[in-house]
Structure formats: structure tokens, C-alpha cells
Structure 1
Amino acid sequence: MVRTRIAPSPTGEDIHIGNLYTALINWVWAKKNKGKFIIRIEDTDQERLVKGSQQKILETINAFGLHYDEAPDRDGPYKPYRQSERLPIYKKHVEELIRKGAAYYCNCSKERLAQIRRIALKQKQIPKYDKHCLSRQEEVKEEIKKGKPFVIRLNVPENKEIKFRDVIRGEVKIMSDNLDDQVLMKSDGFPTYHLAVVVDDYLMKISHVIRAEEWLSSTPKHILLYEAFGWPLPIFAHVPILRNPDHSKLSKRKNPVWASWYLEQGYLPEAVLNYLALMGWSHPEQKEIFLMSEFVEVFDLKDIKAVGPAFDRVKLEWMNGEYLRKLPISNFQFLITNFYKNKLPKDIVIKTIPLIRERIKKLSDYLPLCEFFFKKPDRYDIDLSSKKELLVKVRKELERVKEWKADTIGQTMQDMANREKVKTGEFFMTLRIAITGKKISPPLNESMEILGKEECLARLDIF
């Protein structure tokens, strides 16, 4: 059975948008193959844990519709799914590695390790541990008994070619001499990522390790661990890292990175997932917009390109707008009222949608465009003090309108502009600002029809 997983660390506000992309690829591959999608929380870096982060990550993944089969909040056959609850498992396995000579104790001081690094850099060599403690294991064990802090390191063999096949990148080779004797167990008794990920992936029967390309360089270390345990390798696929349009790494400085931010701004989950699906992959029919069910049907892991795709928020906004415009008005109204926590009257919202659906790109665009429908302007984009005389005449003219419809309002105002010899653009801009407070608004005549005659006259009374 195909079993995929993501293993986010609860060290930030939420799941990173790049990790949501990785989650999508894991999810779709599991669904396509009628397998299982698992979430495992990697909380071994205790110093960097953020309170509430795990819950937020799970909530966000669910909100995007990437429903998982096993997780800390959804028990499965390989629980627990939180690494901090699996410490005895890691301890047992790291002791096995020590017995096999694949790992060893190290109690070098931070000062000595820093010195090794400085020397290596000065000599333009790859900074790595010099195996000092490997040849003095009995002495190290005695020092440990006396209370000296220690770690457990991977014993990387010398001059060994390590190779593996990556679904996306083909065959990858590296010589072991370029690898460090990675710390597997820290002095606090918690495993590092490298030990925990291998042990957990094997014990949880993960068939496909689909993760970001930043972990590609760590994979040879993981293969050494699989070999030391005598375990078969999973299938590896390292997906490209999302980048900014200028090809720099996606970061908080240039783009919002927390996935929930996009929901909070009124991007639709299905639009975001559709856009992410196109990161490094193309629909066989070159479609840009498609349902997730279709994505499951046509997707193949091997079709992902290795080049880092550009995450362009302008393109995402366009796609989100396309999704919104395709919605039936009743669905659009539901999303808007729900987005604004049911504080806006539904009858007004549904009337305004035809006026703004071509302009709106995300749900948070609605109120800046339409706030004047729900309350009188408290400020005006242009000072209308010089237009009072004209606005008094406008009010009298509008008061005489019997049929309060957009066409009638528009024709009445056009005729008045002609009589007063005021340029059409200037006349309607003055009226627009008097009614809405803004230079840019939905179509004015239709907006006035929705507001109603009494409300429009009241707004002109201010002048």
C-alpha cells in the first residue's frame, strides 16, 4: 500500500505555504493510489517549540481540505504520531546502531567542536567531525558514567559511494567522505531529525518519502541508517522549493509564508491548492484551472520538474478571482457573509455581488469596495466643500425621481449634468464621492438603486 506523510515541526506560527505544497503532493499521491496520508509531528527541537503551533498546523491542513488518515488527533495503527512521545523507540534503535558499530558516543566539548570547524574552514575543507571519540569509546563511556554530557553520532564509513534513485531527479551519487558523522541523539535524550525520520518512516511503513529538495543532501546519511538497520529503502522524491518571482527562496520578507494567512485574506482553499498544483507540474491538457478530483486523476509524481517554481501572488490572486467569478451568486454570498462572520446583512450582500464580481480577487476585497452600502462614509477622498451648491441641486432633482431604478437615476443625472453644463466625468465623480466617499466604487447608478432613495437623499443632506 502507498503510504505518504508530512512531518511538520511546530516551531512557527503555522504550516509554511511551501510545506502545504509538499503536503498537497503527498496527499494527491496517496489518494491516486488509494493509499494513506499521514501527519507526524516532529517536535524534537524542544527549545524552538511554539505553543499552539501543532494545533494550528492541523487546523490549517484540514481547512484546505487535505484530510489525513493518521495523525496525533487521528489515531492509527502506528501511534503515537508525535515524536516527543516516541523517545523509548529511538533509544532502542540508537543502541542497536551502537552495538553494530554504526554509531558511537561522543562527549567533545563545544569549544573543541568549534575549533575543528574553524580549522576546516581555514583549510577550505568541508567542516565535519574528526571521529576523535570513536577510538576512545571505553574512556568516553566511563566519563559518561560520571555525568559528562554526550551525544551519539553516526559512524560514516570512509570512501563509500552512496547512490539512490530519486523519482524526480534520477540517480543521485555521493561519496561518504563528504558526509559528517551526524549527531543522531542529542545530549537532552531527544533524537535529531536524521535518526527519527528513518526510524519513524520504517516503522510507520511509509512507502514514499516525498519532501522538499533541501533534504536531498541529507538522504545519503539516511540511506546509511537504512543499511545499518537492514531495512529496505522507501521510494524518494524531492520536490522543488517554492521561490519568489525573482528566484530567491520564499521567505517572510517578500511574501506571506504562513498558509492560514491566505485563508484569512479570503483566498479559497481550492484556488490555492489549484495554484500550488501547478508548481513544477503541468496539466496534460495545459489547463490552468481544474478540480482536485481531476488533479488526482491525471497527476504522476515523475512529471514534477526539478526546477524551483516561482510562487507569484499576483497570479494566485488572478486564479482566486476566476474561482470566485464562477460561483453561483448564492454561494458567493454565503462565502462573503461567512468571511465577515455574519456581520453583514445577507440581502444587501446578494444584491451587491453582480456589481463587484468582476473586480474582486479575494474575499477581503469585498468590504473596501462595498463598505458604503452598510454605513455612511466617515471620510471623503476629495473635499466637496466647493461642490455644495451643485449637490443641493442634485438632491432636489433626485427627490423628484419616482421610479428608483439605476437606468432612471443615470438618465436623470446625465440630463442634469447637461443642463448645468458640468462635464459628465466631473459631475458623476462628485456624486460618486458624495454617496460612497470614494473615487473608485462599484457602478454608481446600480449602487444608488441598492442604497435606496431615502438613504441617498440623507447622504446628500450632509452637504
Structure 2
Amino acid sequence: MSVPTTSGRPVVTRIAPSPTGSMHIGTARTALFNWLYARHTGGKFLLRIEDTDRERSTEGAVQVIFEGLKWLGLEADEPAVFQFARADRHREVVEALLARGEAYRDYMTSEELEAERERARAEGRVVRSPWRDAAAADAPDRPFAVRLKSPLSGETLIADQVKGEVRFQNSQLDDLILLRSDGNPTYNLAVVVDDYDMGVTHVIRGDDHLNNAARQTLIYQAMDWATPVWAHLPLIHGPDGAKLSKRHGAQAVGEFADMGYLPEAMRNYLAKLGWGHGDDEIFSDEQAISWFDIKDVVGAPARLDWAKLNHLNNHYIRQTDAPRLTQLVAGIHKSRDWKLRDGDLPLLERTIPLVRDGAKTLLELADSTVFVLKARPLELPEKAQAMLTEETRGRLSRLRDRIAANEAWEVPGLEAEIRAFAESEGVGIGKFGPALRAVLSGGSPAPDLAGALVSLGKHESLARLDDVLSPAP
């Protein structure tokens, strides 16, 4: 299926989250696809905050949306639009629909509406108000809702870029409420008016909104407005194929950030949830923008795969420069109440390239750098102390003197020195290596022996050995 444009206008996409809680990973994937398609076509990507639920919408949740999009690198091209502030404009369109005869005032009381619902259920039809074709002169003096006068026959066609053609029988679509009896606009009306006024040409959203597309299409038609191109994305499921829930682990963007995933890894991974380019697993933003087309999104639900996400994140950690990783890791240490001293940042920057290859997340990377931040004298765990037999102490003392003469203090040279020492002692490295690692790291995770020595630097490495090997006072 080709991707149409709307009246030849440049593509405009949008993300329209409700600020009623955390920013779900599904919303993030929807934002990414909207952003990619806008960039692919040279169009615009916009943000609307759908804050009409005044009881649940909070300023904190709005900030969560802004921060989540910023962290993901998906900031909108224009300032955000707030839906609640546009209520007067929504009511203005309702008045236009009434004037065009495309809407009517419904004076049913709550009791009458409930009775009509029961009749409709019994007769297997949708709710129809008796006020649909009533004369204006018969209107009572009481509150009313405003409903769209939906067509009673025919069908509404949704030419969806993901789902294909989806047909809705108009006889099964009730007369949508546009304005509640308290004067507040409804969701479907507000969405249509806002999308039209924002110039949105492509509505790319979750497929839980597919039924809304039929109702919203009728509003567009009633106003003689161009209908946008629809694309409804499948939901994200857990690894077991069930709808994503708390039992599957993280669901919110902020949780993935807190767990130590890089935003570029998340963009790459989310793009793969329902879309792909051949066998390419790892690709840059530029490649994704060049390749992405909404019609290539798969219609079946995508499954969250932690192993693939961890693999991608490890790739991007290995590709990220040490100064940036240093700042990220330092932030994690500070969040854990680790008081960084002067000189710790250079230590981290020197250590990170030696330990990052095995890190699946930034948290793991931070864990593997703790050993260089420890203050002397280190407190050795019982297992490490048990390794320090008289024979092992003597061997470490001889090794200490040997490596102290090494001026370069680089990994290749120290590796060679440790191997040569083991040969001179007539033992394998396993006879003293674990004890040396424990003395250098205090029992914390650390790289190989030469890597640990280089990370700590010559002065600190020898000092940690001296602390253990010096005779007790």
C-alpha cells in the first residue's frame, strides 16, 4: 500500500500522551515511529498534552513526558499544545456542526439514557436518541448534550497503513457525544479539532484507537475537513506473548533510564519492535530515518525481549566515548550516595575502557568501577584474607617489587610481567592471581589483573599491596 499525503501538504505527525502517570514504553515507541516518519519525509513532529482529565492530570506527569522525550532524543519541533486550554475552540466547532445540521442537542435525562441503553442491548443495536430528528420548538428547558448525527447506513472505511482496509458499518456506530451536558468537550471531538488545527497529516498511534478512527472520520467528514492518513500500531507484549504488565518488569521510560539503558540503544531497540530493515539489527538514527516507512510496520504485536535489549545496550556502551560514560557512571555513583573525591573522575575515565565490554547496562558498568573509588586501607572480605597465606604473601611481595620497576605501567607490559613472574616462580597465575585481585579490589568486581593495575595507577596499586604486605605493628 502506498503512503498517501493529505492534500499535498508536508507530513506532520504528533504524539499525544495524557499526563496521568508514567510515560509507558508503548508511548515511547509510538513517539519514535512518529519522529522517524516525520524525519524520513522532511516533515514536522509535534507534541500535544491531552490534559482534559483534570482530576488525574498533574504537572509532575507533564514533566515526566517532557523529560522522557528529551532523554529519548525525540523532542518536538514546536512548543507543546495543551488540549485543555483549547476547550473554547472545541465548543466553537460543536456550534459549527449544529449550524450545519451535522449535530443535534440531546435532552435525554440520565434515567432516559439508561432505559434507551437497555432497549438497545435487548434489540442488538446502538443507542439512538429520540431527539435526533426532533423539532427545535419541542426542546425542553433543561441541560443537554450535543451528539454527532452519524449516518444510519453505509460504511466508514479506514485505509490504515498498518492494518490495511478496515470497514465499519455505520449502523453500528452510535451518535457520538461531542459536548457533555456540563459543557465539556469529549475526547474524540477534541482530538479531531486539535489534529486539524495543528495540521496533522498522519495519525500514527496504538491500535487500541482503531475504533476511534471510525468515529473521528465521521467528524472530519461532517466538517468537510481532509481526513488524515491513519496508521495504528500493534501493542507491545511481554516475552510470554501476554499484554505487557508489571510482572514483565519495567514498563515506563524512566524505569529503563534508571536501569542503565542508553537512549540510543532504546531508540534502536524500539524501532525493531514491529519494524525492521532486512536483517539489520544495529543501525544509526540516520539509517533508521533513511529506511523507515510506516507502511513497513508489522501488524502483529511485538514482544519485549530483554536479551536483545541487553545485547544492543552493550553494543552502544562499547561504542560510547569514555568521557560521556564517565559522567553517566559518576551520576550513578552519586545517586548511590558515593561521595566522589578530587581525582575520581580521571580514575573512572581510565577504568571504563577496561571494563565496559562485559557491561550490559550502565549500572553494571558502575558496579565494575567501584574498586577504583575505594579509600585505603581496604577492608578485605574473609575469603580474601584466607587466601593470604604466608606463601602467597611472600609471592605477592616479590611480584610487587618486580612490577614496581615497570616504568610504562601499561596493560601489555604488565601482562607480560605477570606471566614472566609466574614462570620464574614455577607456578600458574592461579596460585597468586585471585589473591592479587582481592588485594587490589577489596573483593569488588574488577577487570583482569593488568587492567586493575592500570586502572588504579602505579602509586595506588603499590600502596594497596603495601597495606596488606606490611608487617602488622
TM over 0.5: yes
In structure 2, the partner of 1:23 is 31
The 5 A counterparts of 1:386-397 are 386-390=386-390, 392-393=393-394, 396-397=397-398
Correspondence for 1:35 among 43, 50, 54:
43
Give 1:426 deviation, angstroms.
Answer: 6.7
Correspondence for 2:188 among 181, 184, 194:
194
Q: So what's the TM-score if we normalise by structure 1?
A: 0.83
Give 1:374 deviation, angstroms.
Answer: 0.4
1:294 and 2:294 correspond: no
In structure 2, the partner of 1:78 is none
- Secondary structure (helix, strand or coil) at the match of 1:18 reads helix
Contact 2:368 2:444 in 1 (8 A): no
Distance 2:439 2:248 in 1: 38
Give 1:310 deviation, angstroms.
Answer: 1.4
The 1:63/1:19 distance shift into structure 2, 3 A limit, reads same
1:66 and 2:94 correspond: no
Amino acid at match of 2:82: R
- Secondary structure (helix, strand or coil) at the match of 1:4 reads strand
The 5 A counterparts of 1:12-411 are 12-13=21-22, 15-72=23-80, 81-99=81-99, 100-109=101-110, 129-131=127-129, 134=132, 141-144=140-143, 151-284=145-278, 286-337=279-330, 343=340, 345-376=344-375, 383-384=383-384, 386-390=386-390, 392-393=393-394, 396-401=397-402, 402-403=404-405, 405=409, 406-407=414-415, 410-411=418-419
Give 1:203 deviation, angstroms.
Answer: 1.8
Q: Give structure 2 stretches of 5+ with no counterpart.
A: 1-9
Contact 1:398 1:457 in 2 (8 A): no
The answer to which of 258-267 and 377-386 deviates more is 377-386
Give 1:295 deviation, angstroms.
Answer: 1.5
The 1:456/1:138 distance shift into structure 2, 3 A limit, reads farther
The one-character-per-residue Cα deviations of 1:403-437 (angstroms, maximum 9, x if unpaired) are 35533663487469866xxx864753344334424
The alignment covers a number of residue pairs equal to 442
The one-character-per-residue Cα deviations of 1:365-384 (angstroms, maximum 9, x if unpaired) are 22211201101598766644
Amino acid at match of 1:55: Q
Name the % identity: 33
CA RMSD of aligned residues (A): 3.3
Q: So what's the TM-score if we normalise by structure 2?
A: 0.82
- Secondary structure (helix, strand or coil) at the match of 1:12 reads coil
Contact 1:44 1:190 in 2 (8 A): no
The one-character-per-residue Cα deviations of 1:239-274 (angstroms, maximum 9, x if unpaired) are 222222222222333131221332333322222111
The 1:71/1:461 distance shift into structure 2, 3 A limit, reads farther
Distance 1:26 1:462 in 2: 67
Distance 2:123 2:429 in 1: 74
The answer to which of 295-304 and 322-331 deviates more is 322-331
Distance 1:462 1:83 in 2: 74
- Secondary structure (helix, strand or coil) at the match of 2:389 reads helix
- Secondary structure (helix, strand or coil) at the match of 1:5 reads strand
The answer to which of 344-353 and 390-399 deviates more is 390-399
Distance 2:394 2:180 in 1: 81
Amino acid at match of 1:351: R
In structure 2, the partner of 1:75 is none
The one-character-per-residue Cα deviations of 1:151-210 (angstroms, maximum 9, x if unpaired) are 433343333311121112221101123334433333553322211111111122211111
Contact 2:310 2:360 in 1 (8 A): yes
Contact 2:97 2:223 in 1 (8 A): yes
In structure 1, the partner of 2:451 is 446
The 1:327/1:290 distance shift into structure 2, 3 A limit, reads same
